[in-house]
Amino acid sequence: MNATSPPVALPAYDRAKVTPGIVHIGLGNFHRAHMAVYLDDLMNQGLALDWGILGAGVRPADAAMRQAMLAQDCLSTVIELDPAGKTARRVGAMVGFIEVAPDNAPLIAAMTDTRIRIVSLTVTEGGYFISADTGAFDATAPAILADAQTPDCPSTAFGAIVAALQGPPRGGDPTLHRHVL
């Protein structure tokens, strides 16, 4: 840190008490500077400690992000700039990063955990499989068709979500039910 660097605010909560409630696929900067910050704000108020984030990815390249995040205990530093100056904070809402596997079995298992109440994603434009012609989801995209042919070994986030919804819930409270919006 140099003389122009702002002091870094640390989480005011005990991160050991944070438990997962969200699986987020696509742990890029946008997610870490928005959703993770909002949850960190709540946690700093002593709220939402059961809404920790489990990061996830479905591409082999996502394994590098997993290694980087695990090496820093899943903490991110966010610097906010405004006319009054800069602030920096260490965000601790993320509690783990699911292993990236070719069949996405670890991701599917995590999504069936009854503690998980939200599965969210921020992926690259191509990862949403939107047709350039219609502007709607393209169910005929080759990767989507491949997932339909091998539902036990999906390669896309959508295939993994469908597989998780088809599997039985595990762990936690067996009276909880999953809902698709």
Please report the pLDDT score of residue 34 as a whole number.
94
Q: How do residues 70-92 score in pLDDT, each as one tens digit?
A: 999 999 999 999 898 899 999 99
Contacts of 79 (CB under 8 A, 6+ apart): 6, 86, 87, 88
**Strand pairing category for 118-121 and 8-9:** unpaired
Q: What are phi and psi of 103, to 5 degrees?
A: -95, 0
Flag whether 164 is in a domain.
no
Residue range 133-152: mean pLDDT, rounded: 94
Flag whether 84 is in a domain.
yes
Looking up tokens 């700039």 gives 81
Whether residue 181 is predicted with pLDDT greater than 80 in this model: the reply is no
Residue range 118-131: mean pLDDT, rounded: 89
Flag whether 179 is in a domain.
no
DSSP, res 68: H
Flag whether 160 is in a domain.
no
Residue range 146-150: mean pLDDT, rounded: 95
Q: What is the CATH number of the domain that holds 21?
A: 3.40.50.720
- Written as one letter, the residue type at 14 is D
Flag whether 30 is in a domain.
yes
Q: Give the Cα separation of 3 and 97 in Å (integer).
A: 34
Name the pLDDT band for 97 (thresholds 50, 70, 90). very high
Q: How do residues 32-71 score in pLDDT, each as one tens digit?
A: 999 999 999 999 999 999 999 999 999 999 999 999 999 9
Q: Which SS3 state, helix, strand or coil, does residue 170 take? A: strand
Q: Pick left, alpha or beta for residue 3 (phi over 0 → left; psi -120 to 50 → alpha; otherwise beta).
A: alpha
Flag whether 142 is in a domain.
no
Residue range 145-155: mean pLDDT, rounded: 94
Q: In which domain, by residue range, is 109 found?
A: 8-124
Contacts of 39 (CB under 8 A, 6+ apart): 22, 48, 51, 52, 53, 93
Please report the pLDDT score of residue 4 as a whole number.
67
Q: What is the pTM of this model?
A: 0.88
Q: Give the Cα separation of 118 and 22 in Å (integer).
A: 5
- Written as one letter, the residue type at 163 is A
Q: What are phi and psi of 24, to 5 degrees?
A: -120, 120
